[in-house]
Every structure is written in structure tokens, then in C-alpha cells.
Amino acid sequence: MNTIYPKRRKLGSMAWLLSVLLIVPFFSACGNSPQSNAPPPPVDDTRADGRTQNAPASAPSPQAKKKGLSTGQKVVITLAGAAALYYLYNQHKNKQEQGPEGKYYLSKNGRIYYRDAQGRPHWVTPPPEGIKVPADQAQQYRDFQGYNNSSTGRDLNDVVRNVPPNQLAPVPAQ
């Protein structure tokens, strides 16, 4: 006589149920759009303004690419090194606030620093990629190292030699 074993059938349906439950997350994960779960743009701690960088956009379609440079791209100069530091100093030297967005000081040793709320000095370093500045503002820095990524020119020690001593800040203790 044929005997039916109910445990075997129950075990088969249990295996089927577990298989389906294990596969469902795999298929649901594949269906998410990449833009809905896109991470926020990275924060660049080396930037003086502390803002976030724009996240890289997806590659534009070939029809959307334009040939040549726009007017805005043609009039931007990259300042790096001494040129970038002197630019940052000139942008911040007359501010009244403290901190990275506040007043910057030119020290007697030719370095730029700012003071935090507790009065501690922080040396300013230019971002490694440089600072993009409109050409009309960048012209006064054309003799400095780092103007349009040049490796020759004046540095901040040359500026210190031409500034009256009463306008220079003392070198902060480290």
C-alpha cells in the first residue's frame, strides 16, 4: 500500500518558501534607481568657505556636449600656491569676524593665518587644485608663484619685505 508522508510535503513547501524569501531582496535591490539613493555631495574641508562641492554629474549625452569654451570659462584664472594665499589674505584682511571666514593675518615670516574663537592661530594653506578667480581680479597676482599654475614668480616673503613692519602680524607661537 501507498503511504503518504505528510512531513515530506511540509518540508518541500518550507524549502520553497525559504527560497522565495531569499530571492525577493535580490530582485528588489536591482530595481532601485541610482538617483533616488545618490549620496549627498562630498564636503571639502580644505575650502575656506566650508561649502560642499558639486557632486559629479552623470556624463552628458553626445548631443548635449558643446564645442569650445563658454565666455565664463575663458575668463577664469587658476591661482595656486603663493598667488592663492595672497588672494585669500586680501579677501579676508579687513573682516571683523574670527575663524576661517574671519580676518586673515600676514605674519612676519611670510605666512597667512587666522585666529579661532579661542584666539588660537591656524595656518592657511591653499587648496591643492588652486582657486578659480575671474581674470580681472586675478591680474594683480600675475607676478606671484602659482598664477595660472606657474612655478616662478614672487612669494609672500617678497610681500613681507615691502610692507611696513607695523602692518605685519607677529608670528604666532606654535
pLDDT at 17: 79
Run of H or E residues at 114: strand 112-115
Query: What b-and-e string marks burial along 155-173, b requiring 16 or more CB atoms within 10 Å of the CB?
Result: bbeebbeeeeeeebbeebe
Q: Looking at residue 54, what is its pLDDT?
A: 45
Which tens digit of pLDDT belongs to each residue from 12-42?
Answer: 777 877 887 888 776 666 555 555 555 555 4
Q: For 101-106, what is the mean pLDDT? A: 88
The confidence score (pLDDT) of residue 132 equals 92
Q: What is the DSSP string of 132-145?
A: EEEHHHHGGGTTBT
The yes-or-no verdict on residue 73 having pLDDT over 60 is no
pTM of the model: 0.55
Distances (CA, A) of 146 to 58, 74, 162: 31, 18, 20
What pLDDT sits at residue 87?
92
Q: Which amino acid is at 47?
A: R
How confident is the model at residue 29, as a pLDDT? Answer: 61
Range with lowest mean pLDDT among 47-51, 114-118, 122-126: 47-51
Query: What does the DSSP assignment read for 35-75?
Result: TTTPPPPPB-TTSTT-PBPPPPPPPPPTTT--SS--HHHHT
Give percent of the chain with pLDDT exceeding 90: 7
Q: In angstroms, rounded to a whole number, what is the distance separating the alpha carbons of residues 105 and 114?
A: 6
User: What mean pLDDT is predicted for residues 103-132?
Assistant: 88
Q: Give yes or no for residue 72 having a pLDDT over 60.
A: no
Half-sphere exposure of 2 (CA within 13 A, CB side): 2
CA distance 55 to 58: 9
